Amino acid sequence: MRLASLALLLGLVSATSATAGVQPDRHPSDQPAEAGLSSRPSDEEPSWEIQVAGHGGAAGLISRGEVRLAIASSVGPVDETVGYSRERSWGAGLRVIRGRWGVEVQHHRVASRGFMPAAMMRETPWFGAEELPLTDSADDLLSVFAVREFPLVQGRARFHLAAGGGYLLMGGDSGRLVLEDLAPGISRMATFGGASHEVAIEMTEGDFRADRGVAVLGGSLGLTLRMGRMFVRPRFDVFLGRARTTEESWGMHLHVPEVQDEFATTLTLNTTMRPRLFLFNVEVGWSSRR
């Protein structure tokens, strides 16, 4: 009996060991879901990119406005003016991008003589207006854009669209008195009582008031070509400005030698100008991302 019991016990132990050593076959679909998830590459969050660039190019400028001349309480007709000029522009900018969206800050320095009151006067048919002098000047434009980029050519190039606004600061001689060259004294022929007389005009005490700058709305499109951390970006920007007004006032003494008559009055020149800027620039810069 003892031998039979021992043989039975040994048989049970052998069977249990055999069962434990053999693992049942499992279908791939029976693998835990966590194993499949752990083998997938995790989606990376887009990183920030900083771009710094300088630029230079050409500017097409249009000034649309009105000019009005008044003597005392007598207000003359309004002359509409349109001026065109091609100038140089240069500056620098900073763009911060995350994913496809970003913000850009730009400073443009634009050589300009077309936004001066004297330039507007030269567009009028008034006698001698075309001889008014213009001096070299430059305006500063600071803009802020929201930017949307579109990757091209496997990310090696990017097309962008941008929109925003800014401020155009009139610089140089844009506040210069237009009629100051006439201040020492001029003479003109005038009619009094049906007869023509020479009138001596002396202008004194000139005063000038003007809006220093105007707000602008703008848009931009361009193409960024990347070369490692460096990039080149040809771009086209358009800015439309609000109206800028100026007022120039002069005291006038009129003397008619033939009739020994003399009286004083005030000459006032008012201008309203709306700037339009079309800028084509090429940026060269550095990016924090390869």
**Which residues are paired to 264 by β-bridges?**
253
Tell whether the model's pLDDT for residue 90 goes beyond 50. Answer: yes
Taking the C-alpha atoms of residue 273 and residue 66, their distance in angstroms, rounded to an integer, is: 7
Residue 261: which pLDDT band, with cuts at 50, 70 and 90? low
* Phi and psi torsions of 207, nearest 5°: -140, 145
Q: Which tens digits make up the pLDDT trace of 143-186? A: 999 999 999 987 789 999 999 999 999 876 555 677 766 554 55
Task: Please report which helix (H) or strand (E) contains residue 10, including its range.
Answer: helix 2-21
Tell whether the model's pLDDT for residue 248 goes beyond 90. Answer: no
Q: Which tens digits make up the pLDDT trace of 55-87? A: 999 999 999 999 998 877 777 788 999 999 999
Task: Please report which helix (H) or strand (E) contains residue 234, including its range.
Answer: strand 230-241
Among 25-29, 197-201, 251-255, the range scoring the smallest mean pLDDT is 25-29
Q: Which tens digits make up the pLDDT trace of 104-138? A: 999 999 998 888 888 888 888 876 778 788 878 88
Looking up tokens 């091609």 gives 86
DSSP annotation of 242: P
Is the Cα torsion angle 91, 289, 218, 246 positive or negative in sign? negative
Tell whether the model's pLDDT for residue 34 goes beyond 50. Answer: no
Determine the pLDDT at residue 193: 58
| 114 vs 32, residue with greater confidence | 114
Determine the pLDDT at residue 161: 98
